[in-house]
Amino acid sequence: MEDLKLMGLKSHDCHVLMQDLLLVAIREILPKNVRQVITRVCLIFNAICRKVIDPTTLDDLENEAIILLCQLEMYFPPSFFDIMVHLIVHLVREIRLYGPVFLRWMYLIE
């Protein structure tokens, strides 16, 4: 707490942070536009990780992901955009072709 850091996050910790905690933790402390963008990031990952997905909503989800990336570009510095951030665009395509992601993740190993 003294040096204001969040240390030693494992991938599942990040998963939980993204899915639930971050949404609540950023309330009241950020300006409205940035808060909305980060909330959107969380919601996108939440939607991607669902176990049952309605294929008709996938188009909307894909558009949402693109708009989200554009908004991130508006507020965050360019060095924020490494290849990982870019890959969000393509995640929805994989769901469309292969079904929900929980069949494809590697928790047990990690």
Positions in 21-50 near another protein (CB under 8 A): 21-22, 24-26, 28-31, 33-34, 38, 41, 45, 48-49
- Is residue 59 within the footprint of another protein (CB under 8 A)? no
Residues whose CB falls within 8 Å of the CB of residue 39, separated by 6 or more in sequence, listed in order: 23, 26
Instruction: Report whether 85 contacts 69 (CB < 8 A).
Output: yes
Task: Tell which positions 62-101 bind another protein, by CB under 8 A.
Answer: 63, 66-67, 69-70, 73-91, 93-101
How far apart are alpha carbons 19 and 21 in whole angstroms? 7
**5, 47, 60, 64: which one contacts another protein (CB under 8 A)?**
5
Binding-residue total with another protein (CB under 8 A):
80
How far apart are alpha carbons 39 and 27 in whole angstroms? 9
Tokens of 76: 């965050």
CB of 107 to another protein, least distance (A): 7
- Is residue 60 within the footprint of another protein (CB under 8 A)? no
